[in-house]
Structure 1
Amino acid sequence: MELRHRALEVLRLTDPEEKALAVLDLHAQQAHYSIAADMQLPSVDPASLPGRPERPLLRHHTEVARRSPATPEGRAILIHAIAHIEFNAINLALDAMWRFAGMPPDYYRDWLRVAAEEGKHFLLLRDHLRQHHGQDYGDHPAHQGMWTMCEKTSDDVTARMALVPRTLEARGLDATPQIQNKLRNTHAPDALAAVAILDIILHEEVGHVAIGNHWYRWLCDKQGLDPESLYHELTVRYEAPRLRPPFNTSARKQAGFTETELLWLQQIA
């Protein structure tokens, strides 16, 4: 059994629970898989990726309901939106595994770890929706912004590392504490239960962004490129979303951002 080929199979799964459980199983059984790092897998119709369920209905991000935590319904919409992000993050990690050949074995193991933890996050949030709100994943519309950047960077692993984990996922480090504060202020039992889940997610997402930072810098070093100046160039070339304050400086430092990079963030804000 080969790890990258299996990652592609799991990426194609359409049932969210099946996908999350499959990636957890793959991570647990990884010792039984070989890694064909130099193997170019067969071409895949981009329209077939990622495997996704019929629901939620995908809309433009401006058409998705606001996620105020002030009411139970608002909290349900908020948790649904975060669950959708985590489901997409499973797909992003699996895509990073199968798509890019020629990386060290640890690269594939790292992204398998990310995929498994994202699967755990998704299952925690889905269970929360069911238990506290009587709802399920798919009950609210969602948007597909994260996968759009995945498609843009499908032919460049350096750009992928720069603009998915270091940009899109790093935004979660900034946003999560603010979401947690809003939930705490409601004093609702379901909100406090959600805060505890977000604690787990935030802690592990620091590690995910750190993995992106590590491999981005590894790729830059291998190509003789300056990671900081290249990052600025890539954000323009691929029209990455603009990052806005407040920034979670502590979490970003833990994830491997340099003082120069953090200063640059403050300057562009």
Structure 2
Amino acid sequence: MEREGTIARACRAVLLAADPRAKVKAARAAARAWRRGETAWDFDVAMPDAPARPERPALLPPNRMPKRGKAGSERSRIALLHALAHIEFAAIDLAFDMAGRFGAQFPRAFIDDWIGVGADEAMHFALLDRRLAALGSGYGALPAHAGLWEAAEATADDPCARLAIVPMVLEARGLDVTPATVDALEKAGDHRSAAILGRIYRDEIRHVAAGTRWFAIACERERIAPVPHWHTLVRRHFRGSLKPPFNDSARGAAGLSRDYYAGLAGEEVA
């Protein structure tokens, strides 16, 4: 089969797509071409320092973000869904950057996993954006968090650090908080939004599992004990603290044992 392009160029194209619909389209096309064997496993271009961004939403520092309030009113639910859509939009770039930046250092299965994660994130974003439209809003209508790419910048030179922070800290935090958010949406009568978040939650368990598995593989290759190395990387690269309560069941299903995070619970790091 004649192949069109390389996996690095496909990942770079996703990162450089600014328009949300174009980014989703590029992500889906990259995943489809990779699954069909139409893309060469070649890393012939570098990933950009930062992804392209649309003109909206306005990006604000975390301390300037408006409070969302409870999930009971439609206005607060729109704000919640918009914030989640922004996280998923950034997660598309994080997944494709993972594949394009670090894929040459791992077996092909690493690309399989992270291209799949990126396709999931694109689908999650599309679902949330569609739900926002049904509620009379859309992605870009509200300001959003400016700091989501900081974790990528801080770990751009170390695949272990990227795996430790993005899936094993940031996405794992989603496993902790999403069930309560789903319950709040159900109580507010927004069953459609709750169903979307339930789908995202189930997928994110697989994403955390991929990160945990590849982190262990990378540590084994370097003959480093995974848990203490993870503690070192989190202290070095993550700003803030790992805040309980933890969803031990979902984290355990992802292979992220308490050995990793319990020892750092509540500790202010970075």
* Fold shared, TM-score > 0.5 on shorter chain: yes
Give 3-state SS (helix, strand or coil) of 2:224's partner. coil
Structure 2 unaligned residues grouped into runs of 5+? none
Counterpart residue identity of residue 137, structure 1: Y
Say which is worse superposed, 222-231 or 235-244, in terms of deviation.
235-244
Moved more, 171-180 or 233-242: 233-242
User: Which residue of structure 1 aligns with residue 139 of structure 2?
Assistant: 137
Pair 1:177 & 2:176 matched: no
Aligned twin of 1:11: 15
CA contact (8 A) 1:146 1:168 kept: no
Change in CA separation of 1:42 and 1:262 when aligned onto 2, cut-off 3 Å: closer
Q: Give 1:264 shift.
A: 2.7
Q: 1:153 aligns with which of 152, 155, 166?
A: 155
The TM-score with structure 1 as length reference comes to 0.92
Q: Does 1:107 align with 2:110?
A: yes
Q: How does 1:217-256 map to 2 (within 5 A)?
A: 217-256=216-255
* Cα distance in 2 for residues equivalent to 1:247 and 1:259: 9
Measure the CA separation in 2 of the matches of 1:260 and 1:176. Answer: 22
Q: 2:73 is matched with which residue? A: 71
Taking structure 2 as the reference length, what is the TM-score of the superposition? 0.91
Number of equivalenced pairs? 260
Equivalent residue in structure 2 for 1:34, among 34, 40, 46: 40
Identity %: 37
* 2:197 paired residue number: 198
Structure 1 position 266, deviation (Å): 5.3
Matched, 1:117 2:85: no
Give the Cα separation in 1 of the matches to 2:21 and 2:197. Answer: 19
SS of equivalent to 2:256:
coil
Distance (Å, rounded) in 2 between the aligned partners of 1:156 and 1:262:
20
For the residue of structure 1 that corresponds to 2:114, the secondary structure is helix
- SS of 2:239's equivalent in the other structure is coil
- Helix, strand or coil for the counterpart of 1:146? coil
Q: Which blocks of at least 5 consecutive residues in structure 1 are unaligned?
A: none
2:209 paired residue number: 210
What letter matches 2:53 in structure 1?
R
Of 155-164 and 233-242, deviating more is: 233-242
